[in-house]
Amino acid sequence: MKQPSGTLARYTVGARVNHWVNGLVLVLLALSGLALFHPSLFFLTGLFGGGILTRVLHPWFGVALIVTFAGLFFRFWRYNIWDRTDTQWLNRIRDVLAARDENLPEVGRYNAGQKLVFWLMTWLILILFVSGLTLWEEQLGSYFTIGQKRVGAVVHALAAVSIIGVWIVHMYAAFWVKGTTSAMTKGRVTGGWAWKHHRKWLREEAAKVQR
Amino acid sequence: MTNTWADIKNADLVVIMGGNAAEAHPCGFKWVTEAKHYNKAKLIVVDPRFTRSAAMSDLYMPIRPGSDIAFLGGVINYLVSNDKIHKDYVLNYTNAAYIVKAEYGFEDGLFTGYNAEKRDYDRKSWDYELGEDGFVKVDPSLQDPRCVYQLMKAHYARYTPEMVSRITGTPVDKFTKACEWIAETAAPDKAMTSMYALGWTQHSKGSQNIRGMAIVQLLLGNIGVAGGGMNALRGHSNIQGLTDLGLMSNLIPGYLTLPLDKEQDYPTYMSTRQFKPLRPGQTSYWQNYPKFFVSFLKSMYGTAATKDNAFGYDWLPKLDVTYDVLRAFELMHQGKINGYFCQGFNPLLSFPNRGKIQAALASLKYLVVMDPLATETASFWENHGVHNDVDPGQVQTEVFRLPTTCFAEEAGSLTNSGRWLQWHWAGATPPGEAKTDVWIMTQLYRKLRELYAAEGGKLPEPILNLSWPYSTPDDPTTDEIAQEINGKALADVRDLKDPAKILARAGQQLDGFAQLRDDGSTTSGCWIYSGCYTKKGNQMARRDNADPSDSGLAPNWAWSWPANRRVLYNRASCDLEGKPYNPKHALIEWNGEKWAGVDIPDFVATSAPEAGAGPFIMNAEGTARLFTRGMMKDGPFPEHYEPFEAPVENVLHPKVGPNPVARVFKGDLEVFGKPDEFPYVATTYRLTEHFHFWTKHALINAILQPEEFVEIGEALAAEKGVKTGDRIQVHSNRGTVEAVAVVTKRIRPLTVDGKTIHTVGIPIHWGFKGEARKGYGANRLTPYVGDANIETPEFKAFLVDVTKVAAAVS
Amino acid sequence: MSVLQHALDLKQSSATSGMAPAGEAVAVAKLIDISRCIGCKACQSACLEWNERREEVGVNTGYYENPHDLTENTWTLMRYAEVEQDNGDLEWLIRKDGCMHCADPGCLKACPAPGAIVQYTNGLVDFISENCIGCGYCIKGCPFDIPRLSQADQKVYKCTLCSDRVAVGQGPACAKACPTHAIMFGTKAEMTDWAGQRIEDLKERGYQNAGLYDPPGVGGTHVMYVLKHADQPEIYSNLPKDPQISPLVDLWKGVTKPFALAGIGLMALLGIVHYVRTGPNEVAPEDEEQARRTLENPKS
Amino acid sequence: MNMMNVTRRQLFRYSGTALGASTITALGFSPAAAVTAARPFKLERTTETRNTCPYCSVACGVIMYGKGDLAKQEQATIVHIEGDADHPVNRGTLCPKGAGLLDFVHAKTRLQQPEYRAPGSDRWEQLSWDDAIDKIARLMKADRDQNFIERNQDGQLVNRWTSTGFLAASATTNETAFLTYKVVRSLGMVVFDNQARV
């Protein structure tokens, strides 16, 4: 396998496209959702052509999210299975935040934080989807009781806030840990990045190359 | 109505029986709620169903359909045997003290003089004993066993509370409570009003149902007083007007009657109509009959009506029998009628026994329907599947369907139940080529006149001589016709007492019927309407709603017949001295010179109380009749007869079940059902969301009540395994209706003569035209039998069976 | 009357804060006196006619209610309950259902679209269709289950209390039509006073529990009922005994909103603080060197 | 005496019979006052015409609001019908039938032109008024001339026509009724009735 000197392939084109579409949808959902959530953000409906279109589009974005996220999920779920190292890593979260990588165990393809983001995204999207169905008056209004809809509304709001939080963590981590974004833009990371953050993965990749 | 809508607020007790005002007359029922709130009135409702009226009541009791006279007879018995009557009133203002002929009697359900073959009575014995002076003998002590009061007391002694309950199914305790409340209004300052409608009339003894309550009201002194009266809640907007104007087989406008065959000349005709007073000093207003009749003939035949030809008397058709609708459709069914006109009427759905009506219409040569809407009658030949299963190819009738305007597009007057003539104005352009009925009748008449003038034919004179005094003969205005109805002077009309005084100059509109003359110098289309369009203009168009006395009479709003009088017989609201019995709700009183008050006196205004004239001036007695002499075909006192289809035998007289003189044709008698086959009592009625067969054309009303249904009680539903919303079939001996079942607590089984009787309620509104869903129509079930006196069909009590429909049918 | 001239000035508007204070107006109310109501549906008819709404012609399902429920066109509906009393006597309790015009309207609270739901200073709560986005949040906010979403135009509708008529000094179409004056309209004070007279009459007739339904849980309502059995409003086709805006809706539209935004803001802030304090997490040249070695010799 | 266009420009008096003092009058702000009502009042610039409800015999007063004014020879269409608040019986109220009158006036099943159905036919044909009147008058005259009874079996003069009948309505005006009466009786018709019984 030929590769540019000193870099490693991390994401295929398909995975990257999938990710970015998913990301875009999530952002649209967040913006349209926030517009409908808080009056001070209602102006965001302008991005979607007004309140009515925002209301129409938001649930369809949700459907799109489920589809695109399913792609990501089936690509990545097996890399996100929790192991003992993850617990150790998480126990040393202070070292993580302080960037004292020397105190952390060697990490495989994903560290515990990334795995947490993955699973939180997964569960929150599921929760948002299901609670969102109860709120989709146009298509499904007659299938739910008002009581169910009220629970749905609260759950949807809380889950939405949570997922935005997770998303902020995700974004910030990519921003803070330099060299990360190229994985999703170019599909490759430098060896140094891999050595520093995913040493175990680097070793596995090196072993593969050797063979 | 003897009184008027808003006057109901003056009542202390309202009895709704034989009607359902809350549903059929909601805006009139308002005055019941006003009476309840402001006058602390109580409301009693007696009805087979727990209606919306019942929902508003203080006391509700169920009754088996067709047993009202038993109930009312029981009330009479209670009042008389407990001495709860308004004695002064009964003695002076009714015929209670009058002595009845010794030959009169009642036995085993029959009054004297019955002829079983003719199904009719010889009514000669039902009359008063006259003295040598030509006046009726009286016993003011009311003790003579032959006086009306004692005869009545004896007649109703059989109607004990237990007997009432046995016949009607009404619980004894509730019946007694109702009697107690009713009896309280015997006090001179208390009034009870009776509100009834087709729940009383649509029986084979409908007139006697009403007589029953009239007797109660007379015993209580509740006729002629504010908040009292017998208030017939007429069904249609102008059925009062059409009746007043005599659009019936035997009538001439103003309740004059068409001559009979035997009345070959004018003097003979008049000899039985100018009633001589039966007591000294009485007004007997019908003595003026010739004035009304001649004025009518003058308005019919104009200048062609002269003294020499008895004002065209010969041109009037003479009657052998009354050709009411039941007889009309019977004759049609026999093929004896070739042509028929329906002017805004839907007989295919309105008359009993749909199958017979359908066959009758199909035997016509031509049918002309004038209507704003596409009626079922006009389309009786169309096939609408189960809803009108007809083969058009087999129907040889030519049918014309002529579009007419509706209320919004025409001006004119309507007479409401309270006898108010209210003018209305057109506000819209008619749709398409729709024309007013006046225009259509004019074109028909003008064409016929043209044909008779050109070609001759049978008796052309009345056609050619018909008065047609309209400025544009091809298009008379309603304004002109209204003036014609009121009448005008053809020569100067002078005061009879002071001939120097001219009351109306030739050509002027008359002020009222007092100015009519029998010498041909006046015209008036309808004497009781005289005063509606006077020299002062169109009185019906008046719109001053001031009601200074707060009496509810609104004397300057529109115009009320007769003479703008709002409460009939109002002289009876005062005692013999002319003082109001109830000063709080005084209508008129004698002020020493004349009668005056918030209403127009129903009395000769200057006739002092001492003169002794009675308050019921139209009656030769001057008093009201507890005993009606020979005027009712089926007896001088109401008697309980069973409906022609009854679930039990007549426990009072098993040999005489139904009304022995009711209108029944051969062929119809045979199709009455028997209780072994048809065990349930059915009754038909209107729903508040609909008006007969019109409002199913109005989308809003179709939304509010979209589909035909039948109401049954929970007990019957349980027996049949029917849940609400299931489809059921209702069968009578004449047909079947299939509809949705509405299972309700509002209809409960009754115990009648020891038997459990279930009632089935059948709303009438469905057909196969309009916005609402198609339905079968209640008249597939109803029996072809009519009241003895006025031939109203017995829609309110007949027998049916009920079956559950297994699978849904479209 | 000058104070009344501002009757249809806005008091509250959905998803809008900091409104200019409106002129004072006298609170109005519609009083539905069930003891005088004959259930004739004149109000339903007048409502359809005045508001130019119509329905598909339905079916009979075995009950008098038609249509079978409130809809985007049927803003008021007669509901019928046959209730047997202890003595076996029947009562037919007929209730005109429709918007109660709560003083504290749950629909308005829930609505995210500015100006789609407004409350006028006289108390009427009105849906302004051109601002409605059809989200249906009002449906969840309403404690009485009143608003209905139109499948035709995806906007929510309910009784406006005929704000167009009230604006020109007329009463609502239903009150105008009501044959027995069971529906009255006037100032809330007058209506309360009149209700008192009616309750007195009912008590005289033996209805000891007669009373006024003006539920405090929603701040009182501008549509009130006179009930013969005010102690059991639920027998009137499930009229809620103590209606309140659902705690879930309070949670959703109450604390959740500021806390959520604060939470999101806080997350972002923490990121910034962390970044400022910790600086970028950069890959050092020695890491690259280590990686190169590893890739060349994975066993090392 | 034209009371058609009653000047009722003052705001409607809401005459709730129960409330002596009229509540709405108390609320009677002028339409000119600045109000922020979202909904335009649809009866501005309509013609008001007084009429009575054609259904039951309470004869409630109604006001019809129309576009166009017949008094000015314009085409007019009713857009709204409401109870007449001045009417002493209904006091502005209407029942479910009366409140839905507009849908009767504009019913899809309102007849638009004269129609004829031939014997055995399964459809309506349009025809002109002239043709309709001609045909009907011919049928009537033929039947009358053939079946009119001048004298009964006893030789008495009876002048009646029993083979064609006429069923008058229940909601036509008194003026229609009287004109109908005249025409019907002038022909000697006795099979004549109205809707009083049903």
| C41–B37 CB contact, under 8 Å | no
Cβ(C155)–Cβ(C52) under 8 Å? no
Distance CA B60, CA B70 (A): 17
Cβ(A7)–Cβ(A191) under 8 Å? yes
Confidence of residue D21 (pLDDT cuts 50, 70, 90): very low
Is the pLDDT confidence value at C2 over 70?
no
Confidence of residue C21 (pLDDT cuts 50, 70, 90): low
User: Percent of chain C at pLDDT above 70?
Assistant: 95
Residue C247 lies in a domain: no
Distance CA A75, CA A107 (A): 19
Closest CA to A193 of A208, A181, A211: A181
Is the pLDDT confidence value at D19 over 50?
no
What is the rounded radius of gyration, in angstroms, for the C-alpha atoms of chain A?
A: 20
Q: Looking at residue B808, what is its pLDDT? A: 52
Mean pLDDT of chain B: 96
Tokens of C59: 């079916």
Residue of C nearest to A145 (CA): C140
Is the pLDDT confidence value at D7 over 60?
no
Distance CA B762, CA C155 (A): 40
Is the pLDDT confidence value at C274 over 70?
yes
Calculate the dihedral angle through the C-alpha atoms of C230, C236, C240, C242, rounding to the nearest 10 degrees: 10
Mean pLDDT of chain A: 91
C278 at interface of A, judged by CB pairs closer than 8 A:
yes
Tell me the chain C residues in contact with residue A160 when contact means C-beta distances shorter than 8 Å: 260
Which chains lie within 8 Å of chain C at 3 or more CB pairs, if any? A, B, D
Confidence of residue D4 (pLDDT cuts 50, 70, 90): very low
Cβ-based contacts under 8 A for chains A and C: 168
| C163–D37 CB contact, under 8 Å | yes
Which chains lie within 8 Å of chain B at 3 or more CB pairs, if any? C, D
> Is the same domain home to B44 and B113?
yes
Cβ(D186)–Cβ(B466) under 8 Å? yes
Tell me the chain C residues in contact with residue B708 when contact means C-beta distances shorter than 8 Å: 60
Residue range D44-65: mean pLDDT, rounded:
96
Q: Looking at residue D23, what is its pLDDT? A: 36
> Is the same domain home to B700 and B626?
no
Distance CA B673, CA D151 (A): 41
Tell me the chain D residues in contact with residue B435 when contact means C-beta distances shorter than 8 Å: 129
Closest CA to B496 of B474, B518, B468, B472: B518
Residue of C nearest to D17 (CA): C181
* CATH number for the domain that contains residue B200: 3.40.228.10
> Is the same domain home to C163 and C217?
yes
User: Percent of chain B at pLDDT above 90?
Assistant: 98
Residue of B704, B711, B766 to mutate for C, most C C-beta atoms under 10 A: B704
Q: Looking at residue A3, what is its pLDDT? A: 54
Distance CA C71, CA C55 (A): 9
Q: How far is B699 from chain C (nearest CA, A)?
A: 8
Residues 6 or more apart whose Cβ sits within 8 Å of residue D163: B336, B337, B338, B339, D143, D144, D146, D147
User: Which run of H or of E encompasses D184?
Assistant: helix D174-186
Tokens of A124: 């929150």
Asked which of B481-490, B661-670, D78-87 is least confident by mean pLDDT, the reply is B661-670
Q: Which pairing describes strands B709-713 and B759-763: parallel, antiparallel, or unpaired?
A: antiparallel
Q: How far is B646 from chain C (nearest CA, A)?
A: 27
Residue range D149-172: mean pLDDT, rounded:
96
Among residues B631, B653, B679, the one where a domain terminates is B631
Is domain A10-210 classified as CATH 3.30.460.10?
Answer: no
| B476–D179 CB contact, under 8 Å | yes
Is the pLDDT confidence value at D3 over 80?
no
Q: How far is C244 from chain A (nearest CA, A)?
A: 13
Closest CA to D6 of D50, D58, D41: D50
> Is the same domain home to B626 and B736?
no
Tokens of D72: 């000015």
Is the pLDDT confidence value at D1 over 80?
no
Residue of C nearest to B31 (CA): C180
| Nearest CB to A195; choose among C274, C280, C294 | C294
Cβ(C120)–Cβ(B80) under 8 Å? no
Query: D174 or A209: whose pLDDT is higher?
Result: D174
Tokens of B768: 């196969």
Residue range B792-805: mean pLDDT, rounded:
96
pLDDT for B529-538, tens place per residue? 999 999 999 9
Q: Looking at residue B725, what is its pLDDT? A: 97
Residue range D73-99: mean pLDDT, rounded:
97
User: Which run of H or of E encompasses B195?
Assistant: strand B192-196
Residue holding tokens 């009854």?
A: B646
Residue C10 lies in a domain: yes
pTM of this structure: 0.93
Residues 6 or more apart whose Cβ sits within 8 Å of residue D135: B400, D116, D127
Tokens of C138: 């009002």
Cβ(A127)–Cβ(A166) under 8 Å? no
Residue B301 lies in a domain: no
| C45–D33 CB contact, under 8 Å | no
Burial of A61 (C-beta count, 10 Å sphere; 0-12/13-18/19+): buried
Q: Looking at residue B548, what is its pLDDT? A: 83
Q: Looking at residue D39, what is its pLDDT? A: 80
Domain hosting B781: range is 663-804
Tell me the chain C residues in contact with residue A154 when contact means C-beta distances shorter than 8 Å: 248, 251-252, 256
Indicate the SS3 state at residue D103.
Answer: helix
DSSP letters of B61-90?
E---TT-HHHHHHHHHHHHHHTT-S-HHHH
Q: Looking at residue D38, what is its pLDDT? A: 66
Confidence of residue B762 (pLDDT cuts 50, 70, 90): very high
Distances (CA, A) of D15 to B564, B618, D95: 25, 38, 16
Is the pLDDT confidence value at A147 over 60?
yes
Residue range C214-220: mean pLDDT, rounded:
97
User: Which run of H or of E encompasses B269?
Assistant: helix B266-271
Instruction: Report how many domains make up chain C.
Output: 2
Instruction: Report how many domains make up chain B.
Output: 2
| C133–A55 CB contact, under 8 Å | yes
| Nearest CB to B458; choose among D89, D110, D145 | D145
Distance CA B610, CA B281 (A): 10
Largest CA distance in chain B: 84
Which chains lie within 8 Å of chain D at 3 or more CB pairs, if any? B, C
Distance CA B268, CA B272 (A): 7
Give me the CATH code for the D23-105 domain, please: 3.30.200.210
Residues pairing with D63 in the sheet: D50, D82
- H helical segments located in chain A: 13-37, 51-76, 84-91, 93-97, 112-135, 137-140, 146-176, 181-185, 191-197, 199-210
Confidence of residue D33 (pLDDT cuts 50, 70, 90): very low
Residue B716 lies in a domain: yes
* CATH number for the domain that contains residue B740: 2.40.40.20
User: Percent of chain B at pLDDT above 70?
Assistant: 100
Q: Looking at residue D24, what is its pLDDT? A: 37
Which backbone phi and psi does C83 adopt, to 5 degrees? -120, 125
pLDDT for B612-637, tens place per residue? 999 999 999 999 999 999 999 999 99
**What residue type is B562 in one-letter code?**
P
Indicate the SS3 state at residue A75.
Answer: helix
Q: Looking at residue C23, what is its pLDDT? A: 67
Tell me the chain A residues in contact with residue C284 when contact means C-beta distances shorter than 8 Å: 192, 196
Domain hosting C263: range is 256-296
Which backbone phi and psi does B119 adopt, to 5 degrees? 50, 50
> Is the same domain home to C215 and C278?
no
CA dihedral sign of residues B785, B789, B795, B800: negative
Tell me the chain A residues in contact with residue C252 when contact means C-beta distances shorter than 8 Å: 150, 153-154, 157
Q: Looking at residue C20, what is its pLDDT? A: 67
| B458–D154 CB contact, under 8 Å | no
Q: Looking at residue B744, what is its pLDDT? A: 98
> Is the same domain home to C118 and C20?
yes
Is the pLDDT confidence value at D154 over 70?
yes
C179 at interface of B, judged by CB pairs closer than 8 A:
yes
| D28–C126 CB contact, under 8 Å | no
Residue of C nearest to A99 (CA): C281
| D27–C48 CB contact, under 8 Å | no
A42 at interface of C, judged by CB pairs closer than 8 A:
yes
Q: Looking at residue D28, what is its pLDDT? A: 35
B103 C-beta neighbours (distance < 10 Å), count = 12
**What residue type is D110 in one-letter code?**
R
Q: DSSP code of A106? A: P
How wide is the angle at C-alpha B117 spanned by C-alphas B111 and B123, nearest 5°? 35
Residue B441 lies in a domain: no
> Is the same domain home to B780 and B712?
yes
| C60–B706 CB contact, under 8 Å | yes
Asked which of A173-182, B253-262, B348-357 is least confident by mean pLDDT, the reply is A173-182
Q: Which pairing describes strands B42-46 and B13-17: parallel, antiparallel, or unpaired?
A: parallel
> Is the same domain home to C60 and C143?
yes
Residue of C nearest to B725 (CA): C62
D23 at interface of C, judged by CB pairs closer than 8 A:
yes
| D26–C164 CB contact, under 8 Å | no
Tokens of C291: 């990686």
> Is the same domain home to B105 and B197?
yes
Domain spans of chain D? 23-105, 112-141, 148-198
Residue C235 lies in a domain: yes
Tokens of D100: 């839905």
B808 C-beta neighbours (distance < 10 Å), count = 7
* CATH number for the domain that contains residue C116: 3.30.70.20
> String of b and e for B190-215 (b: at least 16 CB within 10 Å)?
bbbbbbbbbbbbbbbbbbbbbbbbbb
pLDDT for B395-453, tens place per residue? 999 999 999 999 999 999 999 999 999 999 999 999 999 999 999 999 999 999 999 99
| A39–C114 CB contact, under 8 Å | yes
| D141–B242 CB contact, under 8 Å | no
- Do A and C count as touching (3 or more CB pairs closer than 8 A)? yes
Q: Name the interface residues of B facing C (CB cutoff 8 Å).
A: 22-23, 26-27, 29-30, 33, 36-37, 40, 50, 52-56, 58, 60, 688-689, 699-709, 723-726, 740-746, 771-773
Q: How far is B714 from chain D (nearest CA, A)?
A: 28
Q: Looking at residue B325, what is its pLDDT? A: 93
| B437–D180 CB contact, under 8 Å | yes
Residues pairing with D48 in the sheet: D65
Distance CA C170, CA D25 (A): 8
Cβ(C29)–Cβ(C224) under 8 Å? yes
Is the pLDDT confidence value at D32 over 50?
no
pLDDT for B274-287, tens place per residue? 889 999 999 999 99
Cβ-based contacts under 8 A for chains B and C: 117
Confidence of residue A4 (pLDDT cuts 50, 70, 90): low
What is the rounded radius of gyration, in angstroms, for the C-alpha atoms of chain C?
A: 27
- H helical segments located in B662-799: 699-704, 714-720
- Do B and A count as touching (3 or more CB pairs closer than 8 A)? no
pLDDT for B451-464, tens place per residue? 999 999 999 999 99
A157 at interface of C, judged by CB pairs closer than 8 A:
yes
Catalytic residue numbers of A read 170
Asked which of B132-146, B675-689, C283-297 is least confident by mean pLDDT, the reply is C283-297
Residue range B353-378: mean pLDDT, rounded:
97
